[in-house]
Amino acid sequence: MKVLMLGNEAVARGLFEAGASVVSSYPGTPSTEMTEFVSQYDEIYSEWAPNEKVAMEVAFGASFGGKRSFCAMKHVGLNVAADPLFTISYTGVNAGMVIGVADDPGMHSSQNEQDSRHYARAAKLPMLEPSNSDECLEMTKAAFELSERFDTPVLLRLCTRVSHSQSVVETGPRTEKPAVPYQKNGAKYIMMPGNAKRRHPVVEQRLLSLAAFAETSDLNRVEKGGRKLGIITSGTAYQYVKEVFGDTVSILKLGLVWPLPTKLICDFAASVDRLFVVEELDSFIEAHCRALGLTVSGKDIFPVVGEFSQNLIREKLGIPATPGRTLDADIPMRPPVMCAGCPHRGLFYALVRNKAAVIGDIGCYTLGAMPPLAAMDSTICMGASISGLHGFNKALGEAGEKRAVAVIGDSTFMHSGVTGLIDIAYNGSNSTVIILDNSITGMTGHQQNPTTGFNIKGDPAGKIDLEALCRAVGIRRVRVVDPYDLQQCIDAVKEELEAPEPSVIISRRPCALLKSVKPKPPLKVDPDKCKSCQSCMNIGCPAISFNAGKATVDATLCVGCGVCTQLCAFGAFETTEEATK
């Protein structure tokens, strides 16, 4: 049956049809929907893991036990999972194991533009790269076949445009895979030095066998279009090339992007007068071509930064650009901002009032860096805030301890923040850590996590007690505040910065966008009471603006949180019984 699917949805369908049994992932844009769609198939056990390393280890355990398995993550998540990745390459698999990784060229929702193809080369693992939803489905199934044929985990690389675009797929039935019998084999699966030394040559031979496979595999194909111009490409860039040139140029489309074929590329290069490599991010394929001694153009004309487009390819190859549609009206800029009613806003306001240096983490609360709050000083990666604060305070001593805090979300604290807190307790810096507990994984679209009490299907699950956990690792000062109560937050931050020992503040209020959170009636402004002081603008709520010199509230955005009423010295904000919708 033909169905229109997102790329991520098609990967999930491929997992279903391939007979996969276990999926474990940590959400991260643009990879999240792979696992969300998998959760709709009752034939597959699925879960959210605390982080990507755990997810990959769960998937390996399932493969080890004899069932086809999968884990998904975004490109920076693969860094977290790199430790097991490199060793699983040595052990190989029992049943098939596939690792989905989604890159984010253009950094739509990421802190860097990392190119995951380098992991395939470094870990000596095969990597497939689909260019549309149908290939997402088919290559997911092909990845399992490769995994079992060559005794290896297989990386399946997507990027934002493939993950989040739709195209037609041909669905089929699920093929149930009987469990591969588990057999104890310490020489293969126990990677102590003596065994690992014997496995390394196996890995090298496997890579040679895969390279030979790449020469004739239908995962790589030549589309002939004359000899004047030849383009080697893959993934999203292939789609752009086809939209620009159609069938007028010759194309070598690579679906197996590591290991790369040698003879196939050389033969293709010999068949054309000019050779280009069109690939987003790094010069991965181009470097391989140059190592083969080929004369090729690529990053000498195409950028290594940002996403490609059809017009960028036209521009770089001297073809007139196709103008897009434009609107007559000027559209106002919409800078990223925390939502109206976001519980993080009040806490950040308290930090600004205390003139605190804020070492932040990855999540919605990163938007606390934006004006007017501008409360953030640093953001590196998942879990780095707490350990970063510890180092900051060790460097500055009391001067740091009395003015700096770490800010981290509940999900990210579970992901990799708790180890930083253990470090603080164990190695003793007088640090103040603030956990922004909004009862969900917010930034990636409301996925459950170990603090919410529900699993991926929304069923009741084990729930971490954050206060008890913080005390258990050695923090004696643990307190909970309501971020809608500004004075309570201001006082708590001031007191904990002055406290002579490590402390944790849990700022607890559910995300305003959760279905379980019922908004209060929107507020309104009495223009006679508004003195135009603009104090209410200091929290950056998108529901508040100024019109004719007076504050006004957008009733369609306001959730009646009441934070603004605490900033107005003239009582201009009033409640209303008008329903929000």
pLDDT higher at 253 or 323: 253
pLDDT higher at 26 or 330: 26
Share of the chain above pLDDT 70, in %: 99
Residue 493: predicted pLDDT: 98
Query: What mean pLDDT do residues 94-116 have?
Result: 96
**What is the secondary structure of 189-207 as a DSSP string?**
H---HHHHHHHHHHHHHHH
Q: How confident is the model at residue 132 (pLDDT cuts 50, 70, 90)?
A: very high
Instruction: State the DSSP code for 153.
Output: -
**What is the secondary structure of 4-45 as a DSSP string?**
EEEHHHHHHHHHHHTT--EEEE---TTTHHHHHHHTT-TTSE
Please give the Cα distance from 569 to 46 (Å, whole number): 52
Query: What mean pLDDT do residues 9-31 have?
Result: 98
Please give the Cα distance from 369 to 381 (Å, whole number): 15
Provide the pairing of β-strand 166-170 with 2-6: antiparallel
Q: How confident is the model at residue 577 (pLDDT cuts 50, 70, 90)?
A: low
Residue 325: predicted pLDDT: 79
Query: What mean pLDDT do residues 232-255 have?
Result: 97
Query: What mean pLDDT do residues 183-187 have?
Result: 95
Digit-coded pLDDT (tens) for 536-548: 999 999 999 999 9
Digit-coded pLDDT (tens) for 425-472: 999 999 999 999 999 999 899 999 999 999 999 999 999 999 999 999
For 103, phi then psi, to 5°, come to -85, 165
pTM, 2 dp? 0.94
What number of residues does the chain have? 581
**Is the confidence at residue 29, as pLDDT, over 60?**
yes
Please give the Cα distance from 404 to 397 (Å, whole number): 11
434 closest CA partner among 507, 513, 356, 371? 507
Share of the chain above pLDDT 90, in %: 95
The tokens describing 185, both together, are 């084999």
Q: What is the mean pLDDT of the chain?
A: 96
Beta bridge partners of 409: 436
Residue 250: predicted pLDDT: 98
Alpha helices in 174-303 (DSSP H): 186-189, 193-216, 235-245, 263-270, 284-291
Residue 578: predicted pLDDT: 46
Q: For tokens 């930090």, name the residue.
A: 351
Q: For the ranges 108-122, 200-214, 324-338, 429-443, which has the lowest average pLDDT?
A: 324-338
**Is the confidence at residue 253, as pLDDT, over 90?**
yes
Residue 580: predicted pLDDT: 44
**Is the confidence at residue 12, as pLDDT, over 80?**
yes
**Is the confidence at residue 67, as pLDDT, over 70?**
yes
Instruction: State the DSSP code for 454.
Output: B
Distances (CA, A) of 549 to 311, 340, 533, 543, 566: 44, 21, 9, 16, 20
132: buried, middle or exposed (CB in 10 Å: 19+, 13-18, 0-12)? Answer: buried
Residue 335: predicted pLDDT: 77
